[in-house]
Amino acid sequence: MSTVPDRSEIDAQYRWDLEDIYADDEAWETAYESVSDRVDELGEYEGRVTADPGTLLELLELRESVLREVAKVTTYARLRSAEDTTNQTYQAMAARGSSLGSTASSAISYLEPELQELTSAEIEAFIDAEPALEAYEHYFEDVRRMKPHTRSAEVEEVLADLSEVTGAPSEIYSMLTNADMEYGTVESPDGEPVEITQANFTKLQTKPDREFRRDVHETFYDQWADVRNTVGTSLEKAVREHVTSAEIRGYDTAREAALDGSNVPPGVYDTLVDTVREDLDALHRHAELKRSALGVDELRSHDLYMSLTGDEGPDVEYEQAVEWVTEAVAPLGDAYQERMAEGLESRWVDVYENDGKRSGAFSSGTYDTQPFILMNYQDDIASLFTLAHELGHSMHSELAADAQPWHDASYDIFVAEIASTVNETLLTQHLLETLEDDELRTHVLDEYLERFRSTLFRQTMFADFEHRIHSRIEDDEALTPDVLDATYGDLKREFYAPATLEGGIEREWERIPHFYYDFYVYQYATGIAAAAAIVDRILETGEPAAADYRDMLAAGGSDYPLEVVRLAGIDMADSGPIESAIDVYRSYLDEIETLLEL
């Protein structure tokens, strides 16, 4: 039987090195107690934030000192929890860390309402009197920009105190799907039982035996059918919280509130959805090519992840993936390439799946630590691309932390998803240019097409779904599991029109954790569009464009996302990058159709 190993069975070189944060759990406990005591110091400045420039600077420096340590404490606990979601000790540590973060936010919640009492002229006078405050100019501008949506210090404190509670639907969903749920076991074509997990479901959907894929698909979604009321309720409560929070802050919609945090106009969201919907024929063509490649009369739900090559593709061991990804980023400069290689040697990556490990992949860390990447590497081309993706995030964090002070280093997801997909695009270009094996080149091309499909088209479909379900709550309409099924199913059928969808595919919304992060997913789609344009510039003009891109990464959060991206020569307020990216997709469809003689 295919089983998932215990964490202790995985060699240390394939596990991240959390000792970079704390030597052990005891050291974490000491740090937790120490910073817990310091959080109270933040409250001592309430009511006198703007008493004089010196007092304001003292508070800002104290806030940074405390919150940097809080970040380390919460990150260590969260990463330990992700290693094994069934480990109650680490779940308790993560809960304590989350609570501490909420307490710290509550303790400093008076800061921005008090700062907003200053006029622009008064802020300029403060900076003239205390030049060290000049480093906070963008922060001050952003705080003043949010004044219409900031409530009194008392209300802000209550909202901060409630953050643990309002985040409950997401946490409950995570524990249900990662720790408690089982996804069934099916019989492989050779008669062996195979356990389905969140991590391996997609890979199992690429197996060449069509009946096996159907069994996996139906078994997996049957498990979701058993919890649809629980998951439906948790998502409905999450959406309702997003809507209520927006109303409290004086926004017309939850989408407006979510995008305003990054100063992204709703028109950027609408441009993405409208442009992609206008070009669904490209996605439909991809689906038709799959049907033709598989030699079937109808493409069905369990065929959607299948390769155009008709098989799983070659194995790619982790060491080979590291080599290829490192080579691929050469156009970004020697310093970038060497920094990334050193990180891989320093155990940034937690590589393989283990029993209880959180599904998926992410890059994490703090301003004061190295990056940490969680993966569930499956020895395939998809995992190769995921490694490149997460390393893009990690390098973004490294360059931003090098160039920016703490308060300006944290970047928005809008920019983050460009950094990750630039690496994916460079990897594709590198492999297509250097691999001599036509079969392997075809698989690489197919993988990029799949990732493009799932990133630009699928994430835009998610964004459309998210907008629709929030609108229902805002219009005082019901959001039940039946409504969620129907809404999602209609969109899925529109986006994948050539396919016959069945086997519980309308319940796919249940397995998407990103819906708990309000209006988050659209940034994957804008990210890949911007990445395609940036890579084109780099490959056409070389180092000048690469330098512009590194400037974008190094800018961190020192400006608003649209302005940061413009440093790389790209305007995401326009439909041009999206249309250009879809043109690249079309050209790759042409190329693979020729290679496969479809």
349, β-bridge pairs = 373
State the catalytic residue, choosing from 390, 424, 450, 474: 390
* Other beta carbons within 10 Å of 200: 19
Q: Is the dihedral of CA 133, 136, 137, 140 positive or negative?
A: negative
Cα distance between residue 528 and residue 531, in whole Å: 5
Q: How far is it between the farthest Cα atoms of the chain?
A: 77
Which residue is it, tokens 């038709």?
288
390 included as an active-site residue: yes
Measured CA to CA, the distance from residue 469 to residue 31 in angstroms comes to 42
Let me know how many helices (H) and strands (E) the chain has, helices first.
27, 7
Cα distance between residue 460 and residue 578, in whole Å: 11
Count Cβ atoms within 10 A of the Cβ of residue 94 and give its class: 0-12 exposed, 13-18 middle, 19 or more buried: buried
Given a contact cutoff of 8 angstroms between Cβ atoms, the answer to whether 347 and 336 are in contact is: no
| Contacting residues for 437 by C-beta, under 8 A, at least 6 apart | none
597: left (phi > 0), else alpha (psi -120 to 50), else beta? left
**Residues written for the chain:** 598
Give the span between the Cα atoms of 465 and 376, in whole angstroms: 28
Interhelix angle for 438-452 vs 381-403, to 10°?
A: 60
Q: Which amino acid is at 270?
A: D
| Residues carrying an active site annotation | 390
